[in-house]
Amino acid sequence: MFITFEGPEGAGKTTQVNLLAEALRADGRRVVATHEPGGTVLGEDIRRILLAPGGTISPRAEALLFVAARSQLVDEVIRPALARGEIVLCDRFSDSTIAYQAGGRGLARDAIESLITFATGGLEPDLTFLLDLAAAAGLNRKHGGSQTRLDLENLAFHERVRVMYLDLARRFPDRIVVIDAARPIDDIARQIQAITRERLAARAGGERSR
């Protein structure tokens, strides 16, 4: 099962990925936790280029770099782990490119969707947790921490990202679960664990009846 975590800056995705990985391992399941952009040697190199503040990266070049990192991660890490029957948790995936490069940057959504399909070979998550938070609240949480090139975009950019995420959640209601990320970390973790265990049980039931 392939599970992704999405949301704006400062929504707490990384914390929730780690907490879910811990909980599933305690259930005796094998889990691979990874993140985007990154998770491979090539991906981490691309991450440094993409996130370093300053410099000039055009919107289309930016989109291509994000999907290049994803392509490597899918081929090198995600597909092999899924083939071994493991659960893969990924901190960001294709929805980020639609939210940031189509929503935030204003690139054509159908072009971005084609790039994503090419890069992933059509791999899509089984379940996505969208940690939803007002753009200003997320950015405030990140203040004090290190700011990436994308964190430094203006509030309007981050608001367009949120609008696109919520649009994706409306389009794919079976896959994307919207989580109110303004709540305490432990409440969110419990909700995410409960939903994941339910989905895993439903899949196991489906496989048995086939």
Cβ closer to ligand TMP: 1 or 116?
116
Q: Please report how close the Cβ of residue 205 comes to ligand TMP at its closest, in angstroms.
A: 33
Cβ closer to ligand TMP: 97 or 196?
97
Cβ closer to ligand TMP: 92 or 160?
92
Q: Please report how close the Cβ of residue 98 comes to ligand TMP at its closest, in angstroms.
A: 8
Q: Which of 176, 181, 209 is nearest to 195 (CA)?
A: 176
Cβ closer to ligand TMP: 157 or 197?
157
Return d(Cα 38, Cα 5) in angstroms, integer: 15
Residue numbers at the binding site for ligand TMP (CB under 6 A): 9, 36-37, 66, 91-92, 96-97, 100-101, 148, 150
Q: Please report how close the Cβ of residue 140 comes to ligand TMP at its closest, in angstroms.
A: 15
Q: Please report how close the Cβ of residue 27 comes to ligand TMP at its closest, in angstroms.
A: 26
Q: Please report how close the Cβ of residue 123 comes to ligand TMP at its closest, in angstroms.
A: 14
Q: Which of 1, 87, 13, 78 is nearest to 39 (CA)?
A: 78
Cβ closer to ligand TMP: 105 or 200?
105
Cβ closer to ligand TMP: 29 or 167?
167
Convert 156-188 to b/e letters by CB count within 10 Å (16 or more is b): ebbbbbbebbbebbeeeeebbbbbebeeeeeeb
Q: Please report how close the Cβ of residue 69 comes to ligand TMP at its closest, in angstroms.
A: 7
Nearest 10 degrees: CA dihedral of 191, 192, 193, 199?
110
- Judge whether 71 and 115 are in contact, CB under 8 Å: no
Convert 86-112 to b/e letters by CB count within 10 Å (16 or more is b): bbbbbbbbbbbbbbbbbbbbebeeeeb
Residue nearest ligand TMP (C-beta atom): 100
Question: What contacts 9, CB < 8 A, 6 or more positions away?
Answer: 138, 139, 141, 142, 150, 151, 158
